[in-house]
């Protein structure tokens, strides 16, 4: 089977019953498995997550409830439509009970240390899904003190569940991703970081990040992704002009220019971003290429309505894939 070729039916839950798994955790035989960065995964682990995502994309009502009797907390201190709904709906579909926390619901809002909060939540929940303005290291600290799986639903550095969603959709559409070339246009934000970390694990795939000068991927993240790509036979490059994108492109990808929860110090930043807008003229350069967007979109800014709502757009399928990818992550972390 080709790498990342979706399988028709996946019902397995990792070979353990929930009773076995819970007992193993209690005895200290198996540490909880968090999902914080795609860089933490092996190609085989990513492949497993992609296959499960694709399978549940075809059948969102699994016969089994592998998370039955488990409790999943969802802590969202920033706005979210797709990711929050996906994890809530996905947990329920897999049998879990969900406890939602908003930005002012926990004593974190009054200054309680993250480590103290983690200790408390770890004794009452089986997993915690977090979207916050904190950093990746904060999530790792939280996972360590809570001793339960912590799932990164977007922090400053990376949006790994979005990256998994995107790779799963590409696998569902193309089958094997060997030879696929994805061109990303826009800011080197947390979505771009996830694409770089994820596609670096896919042998034969190429990612070109076309970013405005001064708005590229974090240099350390770029170097790390390029080192991973070299190890697995993929390619991650960054350029700062759209006309510097080399060769044929299979997918054109963009995100909104104002990443959720961030702002730009340069009042004239739009001048730098305007050449990176995706419109019909750009898409005509690659007439067979599909279009992707992680949404929400600002029509007339980073993308035209004609492209976003056009026949080559995968954005709406991409949004629906978030549910099955959330289910895959929850199942992977908890079983």
Domain co-membership, 117 together with 219: no
Q: Tens place of pLDDT for every residue, the chain, 335 residues?
A: 244 443 433 333 343 433 343 444 444 445 689 999 999 999 999 999 999 999 999 988 888 899 999 999 999 999 999 999 999 999 999 999 999 999 999 999 999 998 999 999 999 999 999 999 999 999 999 999 999 999 999 999 999 999 999 999 999 999 999 999 999 999 999 999 999 999 999 999 999 999 999 999 999 999 999 999 999 999 999 999 999 999 999 999 999 998 766 788 888 999 999 999 999 999 999 999 999 999 999 999 999 999 999 999 999 999 999 999 999 999 999 99
In order, the DSSP letters of 303-318 are: B-HHHHTSTTB-HHHH
pTM for this entry: 0.90
Residue with tokens 């353990």: 16
Q: What are the tokens at 43?
A: 């190609």
Domain co-membership, 300 together with 165: yes
Domain co-membership, 168 together with 71: no
Q: What is the pLDDT of residues 217-255, one digit of tens each?
A: 999 999 999 999 999 999 999 999 999 999 999 999 999
Is 31 inside any structural domain? yes
SS3 289: coil
Domain co-membership, 243 together with 273: yes
Is 206 inside any structural domain? yes
Provide the pLDDT for residue 235: 98
The phi, psi pair for 290, rounded to 5°, reads -90, 165
Domain co-membership, 184 together with 142: no
Q: What are the tokens at 101?
A: 């926390």
Domain co-membership, 151 together with 252: no
Q: What are the tokens at 105?
A: 């619901």
Q: What are the tokens at 209?
A: 């990040």
Is 11 inside any structural domain? no
Provide the pLDDT for residue 79: 93
CATH number at residue 276: 3.40.50.1370
Is 94 inside any structural domain? yes
Q: How far apart are CA 202 and CA 204, in angstroms?
A: 6
Domain co-membership, 193 together with 313: yes
Cβ contact 240:216 at 8 Å = yes
Domain co-membership, 58 together with 105: yes
Domain co-membership, 298 together with 164: yes
Q: How far apart are CA 184 and CA 133, in angstroms?
A: 23
Q: What is the pLDDT of residues 261-301, one digit of tens each?
A: 678 888 899 999 999 999 999 999 999 999 999 999 999 99
Please list, in sequence order, all residues whose beta carbon lies within 8 angstroms of the beta carbon of residue 162, skipping any fewer than 6 positions away.
83, 154, 190, 191, 194, 294, 322
Is 13 inside any structural domain? no
What length is written for the chain?
335
Is 3 inside any structural domain? no
Cβ contact 187:255 at 8 Å = yes
The structural domain count of the chain equals: 2
| Strand positions, DSSP E, the chain | 71-76, 97-101, 127-131, 150-152, 181-185, 206-210, 235-239, 251-254, 290-293
Range of the domain at 203: 160-319
Domain co-membership, 187 together with 202: yes
Domain co-membership, 224 together with 297: yes
Q: How far apart are CA 120 and CA 145, in angstroms?
A: 9
Is 82 inside any structural domain? yes
Domain co-membership, 177 together with 106: no
Is 1 inside any structural domain? no
Provide the pLDDT for residue 262: 72
Q: How far apart are CA 311 and CA 298, in angstroms?
A: 18
């Amino acid at each position: 089977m080709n790498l990342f070729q979706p399988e028709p039916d996946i019902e397995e839950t990792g070979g353990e019953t929930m009773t076995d798994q819970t007992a193993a955790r209690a005895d200290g035989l198996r540490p909880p498995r968090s999902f914080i960065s795609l860089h933490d995964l092996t190609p085989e682990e990513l492949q497993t997550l992609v296959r499960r995502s694709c399978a549940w994309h075809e059948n969102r009502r699994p016969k089994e409830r592998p998370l039955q009797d488990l409790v999943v907390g969802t802590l969202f201190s920033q706005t979210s439509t797709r990711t929050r709904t996906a994890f809530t709906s996905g947990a329920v579909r897999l049998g879990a009970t969900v406890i939602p926390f908003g930005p002012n619901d926990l004593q974190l809002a009054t200054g309680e240390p993250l480590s103290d909060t983690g200790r408390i939540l770890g004794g009452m929940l089986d997993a915690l899904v977090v979207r916050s303005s904190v950093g990746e290291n904060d999530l790792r600290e939280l996972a360590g003190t809570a001793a339960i799986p912590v799932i990164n639903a977007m922090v400053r550095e990376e949006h790994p569940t979005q990256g998994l969603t995107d790779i799963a959709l590409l696998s569902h559409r193309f089958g094997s991703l060997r030879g696929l070339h994805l061109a990303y246009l826009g800011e080197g934000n947390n979505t771009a970081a996830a694409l770089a970390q994820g596609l670096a694990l896919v042998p034969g795939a190429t990612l070109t990040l076309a970013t405005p000068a001064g708005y590229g991927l974090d240099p350390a993240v770029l170097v790390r992704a390029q080192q991973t790509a070299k190890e697995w036979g993929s390619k991650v490059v960054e350029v700062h002009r759209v006309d510097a994108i080399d060769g044929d492109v299979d997918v054109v990808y963009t995100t909104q220019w104002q990443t959720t929860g961030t702002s730009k110090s340069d009042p004239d930043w739009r001048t730098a971003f305007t050449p990176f807008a995706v419109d019909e003229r750009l898409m005509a350069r690659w007439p067979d290429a599909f279009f992707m967007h992680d949404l929400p979109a600002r029509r007339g800014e980073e993308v035209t309505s004609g492209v976003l709502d056009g026949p080559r757009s995968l954005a709406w399928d991409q949004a629906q894939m978030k549910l099955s990818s959330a289910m895959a992550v929850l199942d992977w972390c908890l079983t």
